[in-house]
Structure 1
Amino acid sequence: MNRKPLLLVTVCLAALTINLDTTIVNVALPSLARELDADTRDLLWVVDGYNLAFAALVLAMGSLSDRFGRRPSLVLGLAAFATSSGVAALVDSVEALIALRVVMGMSAALIFPTTLSIIANAFTDRRERATALGIWGAAVGMGVALGPITGGFLLEHFSWHSVFWALVPVGVVAIGMTLAFVPESRDPAVPALDLPGLVVSVAALGTLTWTIIDAPERGWTSSATLTGFALAAGLALVFVLLERRTEHPMLDVTLFLDRRFSAACASVTIAFFALFGFIFLITQFFQFLRDYSALDTGVRILPVAISIAVASIAGGQLAPRFGTKSVVGTGLALLGTSFLWISTLDVDVDYATTIIPQMVLMGLGLGLVTTPATESIMQVLPPARAGVGSAVNDATRELGGTLGVAIVGSLFSSLYGARLASLLEGRVDAATLDQMRDSVGFTDALAARVPGVTEAMEVAFLDGLSRGCLVIGLLCLAGSAVAWLVLPATRYDPLTEGELAADDRAAQHAA
């Protein structure tokens, strides 16, 4: 019996589940703001606590899964994920929820690279692997984009706790399927974990994210913020120096000298920066400004999910025919164009004639980027080291998502707070205004009682959303230009690509 289809379903279910969790919580943010008294900074950490742990540990976890076995690593990761999700459903404070989101992110960091590594080792035929990667990419994109609709459905009938309870049975099912359908594979030659590199990388990412999220409160040009950025840059430099001198580094930084690898990583990072930043803002736009329920909000984000799924599979088929450069460059251009268009939103914009086309354009762009870029990353390393390649790919996704939420969310918070203060100064007392600047949820609750607050909130929110989308759009267009300049232009033949890739690596090594 050919178990490859069941194996693919299993790893796609695992990948979909942990990526669902990256955004399922977004539609619950207004509920968390009201029920846990969470301000904008707290909400950023609820989202980024998960993303940061995911991004910081995924490289190390990919190496460990290669060394100690991919099937037990997948089972362990799923068990820890389901358990921490269940515990998160029981907490009653935002601080405890953030802590558990970090634990969930650590579990996801073990699961995600393992799924891609299993695919790389099970599907050795070039054509089969391209199809499997396309389906995996669709599952990942669908997971991210379906998070809001799943969360919305749950919140329509239950409390915010349900978005965490729902992930527990899915994790249990994925464990059973892993034990039944995933064969064991490992690479005993993988060296011991690079602990110094791990510690410094976690410190660098943590410092950077913390600094960005705290910047609206402290000030973007304050000494604390500038010191944080300088410290993060210094730690990043130390990490590079450590990895260059370590015999068995956690990340071989020389891989980035291969343009297929470095440009593809940058493309994935930008794509997920855009997606996560967008979902963080649009879910609040729909609920606070358009007064949609959580379920209505999730349903209205569905066009993104569908178009990502379609374009992810199409991208895997188009890249061999037209070349990675053409497909990824076009995808980033579509993505950038969609965000420049979204930056023109107003409160009364028509959903059917404007927002749906914007979302479809965005989803098509992201789908065209992810699968070809992922394949470009995986081609650089042999199947035995697939865990490292998949971990780098996963790290770029999560790093992009983490920074997307942190940067776009913090930029929004700064602009929203400043504009709201200028519009309402003298109309509400200073203490109340400070709370309104920190929390859109607090402002929304107050709007029904204080005349003029609704209009001021709408103007301030749209100001922050517009500038945030403008930043994302320009970044995507810049990424498209780099992709057209740097990624390989040649199309590749599925029957000879392996030999050509080996020749390329040999030539680079000789150089």
Structure 2
Amino acid sequence: MSDTATTTAAPPPMTRAQIRLLAVACSAVAVVIAAMASLNTALPDIAVETGATQAQLTWIVDGYTLALAALLLPAGALGDRFGRRGVMILGLVLFAAASLLPLIADDPLWVIGARAAAGVGAALVMPSTLSLITAGFVEAHRPRVIGIWAGVAGTGAILGMTLSGLVLEYASWKVIFTGSAVIALLLVALSFTIPSSRAAQPLPFDFGGAVLVVLAVGLFVLGLMEGPHRGWLDVATLGPIVAGLVAAVGFVFVELRSKAPLLDMRLFTARAFGAGAAGLAFQYLAGFGLFFLIVQYLQLVLGYSPLRAALALTPILLVVMALSLTVPALLNRVGIRILLSAGLALIGASLILMSLLDADSTYLEVALTLAVTGLGIGICTAPATHAIVSNTPEDQLGVASAVNDATREIGAAIGVAITGSVLAAAYGHGIEPVARAIPEPARTAVEDSLAAAMQVAEQAGPQGEQLAVLAQDAFLDGLQQASWAVAAIMFAGAVISAFWAPGRS
């Protein structure tokens, strides 16, 4: 009797055309995500040169994010219907044109409008990139290429902050816009060398569903953005959130009754699809919440420059990119349940580590915290993204990619809202006894934020050093409480994923 060995044919190697497709798609998603975070380091310079108020500065950042989040699903559907490469090219052209506008019209309102227009372009680009590479590779290659895309998408914000910090060391903030436009136009030229894809049997475009989802996501994210500044019971906060939730309920009702829905809500009944979407929301909630806290900590407590603070985040970038190449190989062996729950638990552990940081912490302690964060993100981001796109029909890959991106944006908005609110409440409570002894208008500035308190301290003479220490202590109390709050959410997410996500298939 002889033994019979069963062999599995190895997948064909990637062609040059496929490698070029992956490179162009990843570069495109990197440039639009980097643009989301790149201006954070430039806001002080923009305020000086344009005369922008604090509210206008906030909208220079948030206008981009709001337009991007609201339009992702309709943009993904347009790619499925009319061609994903064409929609990506259109988005890159719009992004480039909007990035050039502040060079000739730098009034704050023009800059806000330009950023919103760039966000519209980014919404056309993001889902197209993921759906292009998913359609362009055979199933055997998809976990790996999706892992690479997810690694680039997950680290694009850090890359944006690092490059913008480097630019600001030697040049004007307008160079950031110029660089974004030049890269986008270069990618437009390269995009004509890659293949396109579209739905084999495209459905009619669901205009009613598109309007409802834009209102649902846009209003909900708008309310979350306003909450930390205005308070959660303010009409400008509560009104958009409630209106967004009502529009979301209407969207679900309309889509379930539609013969050609923008988003087939029944996809969420697949455990892998639903768990993947929820997992991405949890990850970005924690990731952007952590960025919101750690960047302020590095600059205002440890005294890092913007560039040094951005470079200090490198451990996350390196770990996530390394894992994006290795974790996809474990997906079939381990399964999404273990990877997703373990990753969220590690992110929660990193937030506990962050809560232990203080004014005397070394960079080694910071780097350890960030490395654990990167380990958690790297373990679960690619599997969650793969779970979404692999459980969606080929004709709806653009919409699936948009779901992937929309959950990231909504999670990020929730994360910043939670950490911002907890930090503001704890800081205000801690600084109140100190602020009582300070005359107006300095008192209001000290109560507003640690950044404002540090500016007052610089002008306060011998007593400024004591004020700075007390304000930093109040900030650290807020950082600790916010870290605990988000860590608790991550541990809850890990438990939910352990029961909800499917096992090894």
Same fold (TM over 0.5): yes
CA 400–215 in structure 1, closer or farther in 2 if over 3 Å, else same: closer
Q: Does 1:132 align with 2:132?
A: no
Residue among 419, 435, 441 paired with 1:408: 419
Distance 1:260 1:423 in 2: 51
For residues 86-115 of structure 1, the C-alpha deviation after alignment (integer angstroms, 9 at most, x for no partner) is 224555454443332222221111111111
CA 472–33 in structure 1, closer or farther in 2 if over 3 Å, else same: farther
SS at match of 2:86: helix
Work out whether residues 320 and 375 of structure 2, in 8 Å CA contact, stay in contact via their aligned partners in 1: yes
Greater displacement, 203-212 / 71-80? 203-212
The residue aligned with 2:436 is 425
SS at match of 2:378: helix
SS at match of 2:192: helix
**CA drift at 1:52:** 2.1
Work out whether residues 33 and 442 of structure 1, in 8 Å CA contact, stay in contact via their aligned partners in 2: no
**CA drift at 1:210:** 2.9
The residue aligned with 1:249 is 261
Work out whether residues 44 and 406 of structure 1, in 8 Å CA contact, stay in contact via their aligned partners in 2: no
Work out whether residues 201 and 395 of structure 2, in 8 Å CA contact, stay in contact via their aligned partners in 1: no
**CA drift at 1:223:** 5.8
Work out whether residues 450 and 472 of structure 2, in 8 Å CA contact, stay in contact via their aligned partners in 1: no
For residues 129-174 of structure 1, the C-alpha deviation after alignment (integer angstroms, 9 at most, x for no partner) is 1221122122212312222211211111123333222211211221
The residue aligned with 1:445 is 455
Distance 2:328 2:55 in 1: 38
For residues 308-366 of structure 1, the C-alpha deviation after alignment (integer angstroms, 9 at most, x for no partner) is 111222221111111111111111110111012112221221112x1101101001101
**CA drift at 1:447:** 1.8
Distance 2:199 2:228 in 1: 46
Paired residues for 1:264-413 under 5 Å: 264-352=276-364, 354-413=365-424
**CA drift at 1:426:** 2.5
The residue aligned with 1:507 is none
Work out whether residues 141 and 308 of structure 1, in 8 Å CA contact, stay in contact via their aligned partners in 2: yes
Work out whether residues 27 and 283 of structure 1, in 8 Å CA contact, stay in contact via their aligned partners in 2: no
Paired residues for 1:84-233 under 5 Å: 84-89=98-103, 92-124=106-138, 126-180=139-193, 182-187=194-199, 189-222=201-234, 225-233=237-245
Work out whether residues 51 and 401 of structure 1, in 8 Å CA contact, stay in contact via their aligned partners in 2: no
Distance 2:451 2:234 in 1: 27
SS at match of 2:87: helix
Distance 1:38 1:413 in 2: 23
Give the counterpart letter for 1:447 in structure 2: A
Distance 1:38 1:453 in 2: 28
Unaligned runs of 5+ in 2: 1-14
Give the counterpart letter for 1:243 in structure 2: E
Distance 1:467 1:408 in 2: 9
Distance 1:132 1:399 in 2: 24
The residue aligned with 2:10 is none
**CA drift at 1:443:** 2.9
Work out whether residues 34 and 441 of structure 1, in 8 Å CA contact, stay in contact via their aligned partners in 2: no
CA 44–370 in structure 1, closer or farther in 2 if over 3 Å, else same: farther
Give the counterpart letter for 1:432 in structure 2: A
Give the counterpart letter for 1:304 in structure 2: I
CA 371–339 in structure 1, closer or farther in 2 if over 3 Å, else same: same
Greater displacement, 363-372 / 28-37? 28-37
**CA drift at 1:266:** 0.4
For residues 200-258 of structure 1, the C-alpha deviation after alignment (integer angstroms, 9 at most, x for no partner) is 22223333233333334443345664444433332222222122222222221121111
SS at match of 1:166: helix
Q: Give the TM-score taking structure 2 as reference length.
A: 0.90
Distance 1:407 1:93 in 2: 31
Distance 1:39 1:308 in 2: 36
Give the counterpart letter for 2:224 in structure 1: I
CA 158–46 in structure 1, closer or farther in 2 if over 3 Å, else same: same
Work out whether residues 18 and 136 of structure 2, in 8 Å CA contact, stay in contact via their aligned partners in 1: yes
Q: Does 1:58 align with 2:47?
A: no
Superposition CA RMSD, Å:
2.3
Distance 2:118 2:221 in 1: 18
Distance 1:141 1:223 in 2: 34
The residue aligned with 2:482 is 468
The residue aligned with 1:7 is 21
Distance 1:231 1:412 in 2: 26
Work out whether residues 101 and 111 of structure 2, in 8 Å CA contact, stay in contact via their aligned partners in 1: no
Greater displacement, 157-166 / 409-418? 409-418
**CA drift at 1:432:** 3.1
**CA drift at 1:440:** 4.4
Unaligned runs of 5+ in 1: 493-511
Distance 1:465 1:96 in 2: 35
Greater displacement, 146-155 / 106-115? 146-155
The residue aligned with 2:498 is 484
For residues 177-214 of structure 1, the C-alpha deviation after alignment (integer angstroms, 9 at most, x for no partner) is 1112x113222632233222222222233332333333
Greater displacement, 44-53 / 379-388? 44-53
